[in-house]
Amino acid sequence: MLESKGLVEIQHSNPQQFRAVPIEEAAETLRQEYETRTDTLIEAVTAIEPAESNGGDEELTHEVWALSGTTAITNRTQQLIDAAGREIVLIIGRDEIVTEELLEQLQEALDTGLDVLIGAQTKSVREQLAEPLPDAEVFVSGLEWLHSSPLGQRRHDDQSPAVNRQEHDSREFGA
């Protein structure tokens, strides 16, 4: 993995020898990767079409969050549900994110009248959500970039990705 990121050079001999690249080179490589990832995310967020207003004077706000770890996801999901005016939209990337606590939170959101839309990265995740949440709109996300981005490639149990988008009336926040 370090070799593929350009941080280590490997001499393919017997035995193999490893050498770290110079610090300046590693820093430049990481900076370029960060800038590329940031540019891609800015393009994706910019491409999101604005929500239509119901004709009133209300201003809609969209928030996009990328979270890792079930505790962080559970906590932020509850905050989004508490603050949501009409809907909550989640994109869930891994099976491990779908916990009983998350399902309970989403059911409570449905019970309060919120629209709950859940994009699943895989059919397996979709199946885990659709049965216990029949009133939610659950779909396979179709976000191919999520599969190939570092967000979708994290593999540690405590680094499972989910993306949340919240839509709310700005009046609720005193704007």
Is pLDDT of 142 > 70?
no
Whole-number Å distance between alpha carbons of 157 and 154: 9
Residue 132 has pLDDT above 90, yes or no: yes
Query: Confidence band (pLDDT; 50, 70, 90) for 52?
Result: low
Helices (H), the chain: 23-47, 70-83, 100-111, 123-130, 144-148, 150-153
Residue 136: which of 109, 113, 159, 116 has the closest Cα? Answer: 116
pLDDT reading at 95 higher than 80: yes
Q: Is the pTM of this model over 0.75?
A: no
123 CB-near residues (< 8 Å, 6+ apart) = 140
